[in-house]
Chain A
Amino acid sequence: MASVTASDVKKRFGQVTAVDGISLSVRYGEFLVLLGPSGCGKTTLLRIIAGLETPTSGEVLIDGEVVNELPPRARGIAMVFQSYGLYPHLTVWNNIAFPLKTQGTGREEIKRKVQWAAGLLGIDHLADRRPRQLSGGERQRVALARALVREPTVFLLDEPLSNLDAKLRASARSELKQFQQTVRTATIYVTHDQVEAMGMGDRIAVIDHGRLRQIGTPAEIYEHPADEFVASFLGTPPMNLIERDGGSLGFRPEAFLPKELLNGSALMEMSFRIDRMEYLGSERILYGGLDGRAAKREVTAKLPAHVALNGIRAGEWHAFAVRETELRYFDRAGLQVR
């Protein structure tokens, strides 16, 4: 039995279909990431699971029970919002206690639970502050503590790191993941950031235009993208796709290396015209094109910075190659052929 199951969930806003028949399930204790570009319907799906939106059709099950008719408070969920949604007029303590007060929890019990949650997230010393006196990271922890005290079946997190600056985001990411592993509560995490998705998710559900494109572990998604969308959405730079027999041939930029660096026999050789190079410290990105039919599409190669650039110069051709095991084939419809 799964913690949360969505079966064929659809949501239309007037003429716009935001969620177009998504089915997925989240296991107990699992960290599932909903990943997709902005406007793909991932937040709408999360809000449907939360009960903040009503699906046009389809069912949502939480803990084995159909919850379509239940209000958010009765679903056993807790949600952390993009801008945290803290109550600005209440102290940190009262923010965390609020969901317990609405449930009519006893005073002693509230005290115990708030202390426990605040302690777990290391914000006990902020109890008397108001949200505006807190930093972004502290606010996020208060929002998490407020979600935690409800002891939900599932956490729903809607881009909770997007309001933090880049440096803080990296540390918050690992803290959040650690926190989830401590409490072992199923978590659905919405993001458009593939680094967050890859780094945090036990599994990733890639969504585009309201449809589920692929669901799997980060490695599966990265190594074996189900279709061209997933292939070109993940990875920086994304997978190279070149035309071949009506379909496409894909290979990751880091697998596309100067021929002399690759040994073994099962190689596919290509002549690569380097147009420009970017030096990024730990690596170099080479942009250019191939000859022949594939010449139209830009191709990138990612070289570790320690690799010597023997004779590789912008404006020149060089023999590059890909191991055949690294090649992915997509058919005319853009689906991967195994």
Chain B
Amino acid sequence: MTAITAVGPRARNPRFLLDRADLIGPLLLAPAILYVFILVALPFVLALYYSVSAFTIFDPSYRFVGISNFVDVMRSDIFRRTLINTFVFTIGAQVIGLLLGKFAAMLLIKEFPGRGLARALVVLPWAVPVSLATLAWQWMFDSLYSVINWTLAAVGLISPDNHLQWLGQQDLAMLAVTVVHAWRLFPFGVVIFIAGFTSVPKDVLDAATVDGAGFWRRNYQIILPMIAPIVMIALIFGTVFTFTDLSVVYLLTKGGPMNGTQVLGSLAFQVGIMSGDVAHGAVICLFLFPFLLIAVVAVLRALRRREI
């Protein structure tokens, strides 16, 4: 009896309240749960609702219209073009960004004087606000002042009086936005690959060398499979980041010329916010969801299989 009464008051001592996992656990989890609920789940449900209503900012009625919004959107040529663009943009930026990231990481992992500075410079695109960076790119792609055109002309690849209209021609504009986005992804790729390379034990590399593996075999049969899980994470992150991105397109081309560079994000913004057709904007946005879901599930499954 005495033991129980002795324990009683101590357990209620407010000084030890924070030592109790049953209290502190929910307390620390609450912000995350609230965040997911208010900023993820609620807008998602709202978007679902908008997509089957006739909601516009000029006529904010929640009239149920079934799947007619979806039919409208899928019949639109601009939307189909946008869907293709989004894939080109996403896949292109991943391939360019991660590939260049890998090569740069292979260079930056070597010891050389000024390596710290070089690494810092490589990571810079990350630190620059996208609006400023895109402004600089706009100058580089400018029809008259384009440093890219001047360089190409100087080395004789294009004629000086026939400058490329980087942002005025649909295919070139698509290339331009993809390259700019790849440039934004590049530092991330570098960091991921450097982290990956340094995680490969020296003994394994030495063993491969002694076992007769040359540069290519070491890279593609030993190092790459070993760092695949890390690269997969980079791929998921990059894909989601790119698929949902609208900033580069919006800032560089506004989706033009003639909707030639629209991606889902920018089209949804234009239709839903700029034009006020919230219902159709929501439908376009919802097209992001299944693709992202498939991509994430596929990569996560691959990741689990590859776990080493």
Contact = CB atoms under 8 A, between A and B. Distances in A.
Given A103-B212, A130-B308, A85 B225 contact: no
7 contacts: A52-B206, A81-B203, A81-B207, A85-B204, A85-B205, A85-B207, A99-B211
Main secondary structure of the interface of B (DSSP, over half): helix
A89 B224 CA distance: 10
A88 B308 contact: yes
A207 interface: no
A146 interface: yes
Interface string A41-72: 00000010011100000000000000000011
Interface in A93-117: 98-99, 102-103
B308 A99 contact: no
B213 interface: yes
The 3 closest A-B pairs by CB, nearest first: A85-B207, A73-B212, A85-B203
B308 A98 contact: no
B157 interface: no
B205 to A, nearest CB: 8
B78 interface: no
B52 to A, nearest CB: 47
B292 interface: no
A77 B210 contact: yes
B211 to A, nearest CB: 4
Contacts of A89: 225-226, 228, 306, 308
Interface residues of B, number: 20
Nearest to B229: A89
A327 to B, nearest CB: 45
Given A88-B308, A130-B308, A81 B212 contact: no
A85 B308 contact: no
Given A88-B308, A89-B226, A83 B201 contact: yes
Nearest to B218: A102
A90 to B, nearest CB: 8
B61 interface: no
Nearest to A132: B308
Interface residues on A, range: 20 to 34
A87 interface: yes
A82 B212 CA distance: 19
B148 interface: no
B252 to A, nearest CB: 41
A146 B211 contact: yes
A84 interface: yes
Q: Which of the listed residues A72, A81, A89, A150 has the most CB atoms from chain B within 10 Å of its own CB? A: A89
B225 A52 contact: no
Given A85-B201, A102-B212, A130-B308, A79 B225 contact: no
B159 to A, nearest CB: 49
B204 to A, nearest CB: 5
Interface in B209-247: 209-214, 217, 222, 225-226, 228
A82 B203 contact: yes
Given A84-B203, A85-B204, A72 B210 contact: yes
Contacts of A87: 204, 207-208, 222, 226
Contacts of B209: 52, 71-73
